[in-house]
Amino acid sequence: MGIVLRGGTVITADSEYLADVRIEGSTVSTVGQGLVRSGDTVIDAAGCYLLPGGIDPHTHFDLDVGSTRTADDFASGTQAAIAGGTTTIIDYAAQARGGTLHAALAEWHAKADGNCYADYGFHMGITDYNPAVADEMSQMVAAGVTSFKMYLAYKSLKVDDKTVFQALRRSREIGALVGFHCENGDAIDMLVQEAIEAGNTSPRYHALTRPAIAEAEATNRVIALAEMAGAPVFIVHLTCKGALEAVIRAKSRGIAVYTETCPQYLLLDESCYAADGFEAAKYVMSPPLRTLTDQAALWNGLSAGFFDCLATDHCSFNYQRQKELGRQDFSKIPNGGPGVEHRLALIYTYGVLTGKITLQQMVALTSTNAAKLFGLFPRKGTIAPGSDADIVVWNPDASSVITAAAQTQRVDYTPYEGWRQRGRAEYVFLRGREVAKGGTIRQEALGEYLSRKPFPIRRED
C-alpha cells in the first residue's frame, strides 16, 4: 500500500506538469498517471501544486548569544518550518573561541537530536583556525558536515584575512564550501563606539552604524580571497546593490561564488527603523534592512538568476525581555528576527504572483539549489523517483493574514504583522509521513540528521 497525491501540478526547478505522485515508504516511487492501486491512501491534489519540501539553509535555533538565548529551539523552530512547508533546515553550529569543532558539533547534536520535526543538518562556524582545526575540518566532512561559516563582523566571532585565506585553501582540499557573513567588522565597531559615545543609543543607529558600503567592501574582499585560493565561496544573507554587483562581476569571470538573500531584505526596508520609540528594535538584524534601491536590485538579481538560495537567517528573540535588553543601548539588542514559518508564502505572494519570479525559480531558490550546494541532491530538493518523499501540497487559492498570535514560531512578534499572504501548505510530507495537514502539525518529532555529501572540487584545466 502507498500514498498517491492525485491530480496536482508537479513543480520542479525546471518543469511544470500535471501528474500523480506515488509514495511508497519514505521515497517517491513513481510520477505519472493512473498510479492508484487497491488499498492506497489517495489525496486529492486537484488545483494544487506539488512542491518539493522547502530547504532553509540558514537558521539559528537554540542559540546562546551571551546575554540571552533564541526564543525558538529546535523543536519550536522546526515545527514552524513544517507549518510553512519547509521540511529540511541546516542550522549553524558555532565553535567557541579556543574550542574544537568536535565539541561544537557534539553540542549542536545534543540540542537537536530527537527534538526536530524537520530533517536537519549543520554548517560549522569557525572562529579559531590552527593546524588542529584544519585537521578537524576534514573530520567534519567525513561526519557529513560539508560546509563551514566565517564571520567578518562581531567581536566574538570575526576572523582576519589570513584566517579566511587559509580556511578557503583547506576547503578546496577537502571538498567543502565556506560561507561568509560579509561586513567590515573593524569599521563597524568604530562607528558603533562613536555613536554610543555621542549618546546616539536608539535602535535606528544599528542601521546607521552598519552601512551598505561595509557589506559591499567585505563581499569584494572575500571574493578576491576565494579567487586567490581557487576555492568556491558562499555569501550569506546578501542585502545590498553593491554586494550583489560584486557577485555578478565574479560570476561573469567564472568565479565559483554562490549567494543567498532573505525575505526580509526583499520585502522590508530601512523605513522600519523610523518606528516610534523602541519599536524599531524588532528589525535589528545584521546586516540591517536597506534602501528601496537595494531592494529593487535584489529582486532584479533574483529574477536574473544571480541568487542561488532564499534562506531566512531565522534567529528569533522576543521583543519583550529580550530585544528590550538594548533599550538603553542599541548595540545590546540581540540581533535577528523570525521568518522560517512564512518564507514560502511570502515568496509565492510577493514574488510569483507579482510576476517577479516563476514557480520554477521559487522551487530552485527555496529547495533545489540548496540541496545541490549542500550535498543533499537528489535525495532532497526535487520530486522524482527515488528521492525522499518530502512533498508540499500547496493550495494557491488559500489566503490569510500574518499575525504573531496565529504563528507557530515561539516568539511574541512577527516583522510581517498584518501582511496578507496567498497560498498555504495543505499537506506536508516528510519522507513519506504526513507531518502537517491544514496547518496542524503532527505532534511527533520525526526529523533525522542528514549526513551531507562533500562539495564537488573543481579542478583547473
The answer to whether residue 88 is domain-embedded is yes
How confident is the model at residue 349, as a pLDDT? Answer: 98
The answer to whether residue 208 is domain-embedded is yes
Given a cut of 70, whether residue 79 has pLDDT beyond it is yes
Look over the chain and give the mean of its residue pLDDT values, rounded to a whole number: 97
213 and 362 share one domain: yes
Counted domains in the chain: 2
How confident is the model at residue 372, as a pLDDT? Answer: 98
- DSSP category for residue 314: B
Single pTM value for the model: 0.97
Torsion angle in degrees (nearest 10) through CA of 378, 381, 383, 385? 20
Question: How do residues 114-140 score in pLDDT, each as one tens digit?
Answer: 999 999 999 999 999 999 999 999 999
225 and 319 share one domain: yes
Structural domain that includes position 437: 3-51+380-397+423-441
| Dihedrals phi, psi of 416, to nearest 5 degrees | -110, 25
Residues whose CB is less than 8 angstroms from the CB of residue 230 and which lie 6 or more positions away in sequence, other chains included: 169, 172, 460
pLDDT band at 461 (very low <50, low <70, confident <90, very high): very low
The answer to whether residue 449 is domain-embedded is no
228 and 300 share one domain: yes
Give one DSSP letter per residue of 35-104, joined into a string.
---TT-EEEE-TT-EEEEPEEEEEE--S-B-SS-B-S--HHHHHHHHHHTTEEEEEEEEEPPTT--HHHH
Question: How do residues 4-19 score in pLDDT, each as one tens digit?
Answer: 999 999 999 999 999 9
The answer to whether residue 136 is domain-embedded is yes
359 and 387 share one domain: no
CB 264 within 8 A of CB 339: yes
The answer to whether residue 92 is domain-embedded is yes
Whole-number Cα distances in Å, 10 to 5, 19, 253, 346, 371:
10, 6, 35, 20, 18
Q: What is the CATH number of the domain that holds 313?
A: 3.20.20.140
293 and 214 share one domain: yes
Amino acid at 189: D
71 and 22 share one domain: no
229 and 329 share one domain: yes
191 and 322 share one domain: yes
64 and 29 share one domain: no
Q: What is the CATH number of the domain that holds 22?
A: 2.30.40.10
Residues whose CB is less than 8 angstroms from the CB of residue 2 and which lie 6 or more positions away in sequence, other chains included: 22, 23, 24, 29, 37, 40, 41
CA distance 153 to 91: 19
Question: How do residues 255-310 score in pLDDT, each as one tens digit?
Answer: 999 999 999 999 999 999 998 789 999 999 999 999 999 999 999 999 999 999 99
223 and 284 share one domain: yes
125 and 203 share one domain: yes
165 and 176 share one domain: yes
Name the 3-class secondary structure at 121.
Answer: strand
CA distance 445 to 439: 16
CA distance 48 to 35: 18
The answer to whether residue 9 is domain-embedded is yes
* Average pLDDT for 161-170: 98
Closest CA to 150 of 94, 227, 232, 224: 94
How confident is the model at residue 458, as a pLDDT? Answer: 64
As a whole-number percent, the residues of the chain with pLDDT over 90 amount to: 97
